[in-house]
Structure 1
């Protein structure tokens, strides 16, 4: 187990694909963490990413797992091997931050959490976009009572699909992905920050076409199978009250996503795209006079420092040193997964499905959290 107790926390990255650029861009700018190694099954790709971002070492997956200076592994592999790589990280004595989802089934994900707990190690789970100033400012506004009692939410993600731009999109239509498992974590995580844990879900699903075609890159023109529903219409009921209706689709020629609206007794709060860290936040007030046609729209000033991927890992690194809980915990990530799998089951059975897992109070980042400050 890595044993550093002062100075920047050592980080190693496993997975040098598309998303690694976003992580490396921001993690290499945070003073409280130091990226020491990048590993990938394609070692040349790992070495190239390490060189590009000034990371000291790049090479094999095992070289990162066995690096004595690495405290936390950042798992950026495909969903199907998230648990496998996370378990290997725990076995190597490292804390682990994993891209979403935590896994692709409940049993293996629970095994990961139990193994980490027994080893005294932490698991953190993306997305950490919900820890950015956008969602966190909105969450504080709701806690202040700015829209009264929150009643229900509407979220929307619809467009034609990632094969339009992704050079190798087949895994995004495999088990453990699709618009629900790939994009759903952003929206469900946001709703959990507002309403707390999910009690039950209902859904309808469909598959627009059985195969898709890569539209760009070296694989352009190549077809691949669609293994999951590519459109889901979802209803959610929350333990502490409140409801939500959501659409997840990659069958829509109309691009309309990033929509999160929280409707309360005294107004509607419009939250920025949960796949980003910030954006415009507005409150729409109800009409008080039938003769007035224009509703009052208030801008809510965004509080906090805008950062990017790795914000949740940074909170986890600081929390480890401070001996306090981090926010984007493995348990939170598991409840998100349990909710999403329950939605899949509800769509398949066309019945309501109870979500078995639950959560305690969901933590928040303070408004003065500064990722660019050196605190360790």
Structure 2
């Protein structure tokens, strides 16, 4: 093993803690610098990571020993920060979604290719034992030919727990762009790329009330649809239905179900790395739990960046920019379809990422 891969983190909001818990003491990664619009937050985080320096965004991007920028800013800033990092000769790993618009996402991927640097993007949860065990079951023929799938995410809204939920209800937010990356990325891993979509959307109310933190009781405007549903036509002929909602209270639906000629798989929530995969076979009488058979065991956010660092010309990054761009086009096309009332064919496609063999935590986390 050579010197650790040096990472600079931009954006130190709520999600950053999960990444830093994974990466701060990883033997293959070194957190060289951190940056945030709040300089005091940068200083406080840097003080918890040996060797890390609190910098401005500009100085972090200019630092020559930073090899990869971990972009954890709000969605509206994803493209700008990623493009600036690429222009500085850095690889980028960005929190989902890749960008707010498909055009911006395509610019990130194309500029990275021209610059000879790599792009990775969350979610990496789909590399855990939950989604990967389900994929192994499909690839192993346990449900026969897969014909269809359903994906369901229903919640009353993030303002109930997030102290600053404004961006969830502004352009670039909403349940599809926020949570859809988990479900659509999982469907791509399970069933392959999407060729066309049809979508519909609605909005329950014009404002939301913050339920926690220093702004409790403050009303914020809602300027995006908060319930999206759609049909994904996969290249292999399978049809997936997806529902993402900030308007419901609860659901009994499995997060994902995949139906084949010989059986059905109940797939755990792709917002998490693990969970039990259940199989019901044709002619059977009950669900059967499958033992984990693939994926990064005990995965945690940041494993996708480790996977990117380990990738090479023989094995591309599994949470790569190509997958993220295809997922982004799928989502933005669903939003367009909901607005325009028509079926939309996608311009991108992608190879299913290389499956993750069952990898004990000690082999990926060190």
- TM class by shorter chain equals over 0.9
The match for 1:291 is none
Is the CA contact 1:42–1:60 (under 8 Å) kept in the aligned structure 2?
no
Task: Tell me, in whole angstroms, the C-alpha distance in 1 between the residues paired with 2:200 and 2:211.
Answer: 28
The match for 1:145 is 141
Could you tell me which of 294, 305, 308 is aligned with 1:316? 308
Is the CA contact 2:131–2:186 (under 8 Å) kept in the aligned structure 1?
yes
Could you tell me which of 203, 206, 209 is aligned with 1:210? 206
Could you tell me which of 343, 346, 350 is aligned with 1:352? 343
Could you tell me which of 76, 81, 85 is aligned with 2:81? 85
Q: Which moved more, 1:185-194 or 1:50-59?
A: 50-59
Give the 3 Å change call, closer, same or farther, for CA 111–221 of structure 1 in structure 2: same
Q: Which moved more, 1:11-20 or 1:53-62?
A: 53-62
CA offset digits 1:237-274 (Å, max 9, x no partner): 11111011111111112256761111111111111110
1:186: how far off? 0.2
RMSD: 1.8
Could you tell me which of 260, 266, 273 is aligned with 2:262? 266
Is the CA contact 1:29–1:372 (under 8 Å) kept in the aligned structure 2?
no
The match for 1:339 is 330
SS of the aligned residue for 2:15 comes to helix
1:139-218 alignment, distance < 5 Å: 139-218=135-214
Could you tell me which of 298, 307, 313 is aligned with 1:306? 298
Task: Tell me, in whole angstroms, the C-alpha distance in 1 between the residues paired with 2:319 and 2:206.
Answer: 35
Task: Tell me, in whole angstroms, the C-alpha distance in 2 between the residues paired with 1:319 and 1:256.
Answer: 38
1:1-376 alignment, distance < 5 Å: 6-54=2-50, 56-254=52-250, 259-287=255-283, 295-303=285-293, 304-320=296-312, 324-368=315-359, 370=361, 372-373=363-364
Per the normalisation by structure 2, the TM-score is 0.95
Is the CA contact 2:159–2:165 (under 8 Å) kept in the aligned structure 1?
yes
Is the CA contact 1:159–1:256 (under 8 Å) kept in the aligned structure 2?
no
Give the 3 Å change call, closer, same or farther, for CA 296–258 of structure 1 in structure 2: closer
SS of the aligned residue for 1:52 comes to coil
Name structure 1 gaps, 5 residues minimum: 289-294
Task: Tell me, in whole angstroms, the C-alpha distance in 2 between the residues paired with 1:204 and 1:374.
Answer: 41
1:372: how far off? 4.8
1:374: how far off? 7.4
Name structure 2 gaps, 5 residues minimum: none
Task: Tell me, in whole angstroms, the C-alpha distance in 2 between the residues paired with 1:48 and 1:360.
Answer: 41
SS of the aligned residue for 1:18 comes to coil
Is the CA contact 2:78–2:94 (under 8 Å) kept in the aligned structure 1?
yes
1:276: how far off? 0.2
1:313: how far off? 0.5
Per the normalisation by structure 1, the TM-score is 0.92
Task: Tell me, in whole angstroms, the C-alpha distance in 2 between the residues paired with 1:90 and 1:309.
Answer: 22
SS of the aligned residue for 2:255 comes to strand
1:228: how far off? 1.0
Task: Tell me, in whole angstroms, the C-alpha distance in 1 between the residues paired with 2:154 and 2:68.
Answer: 35
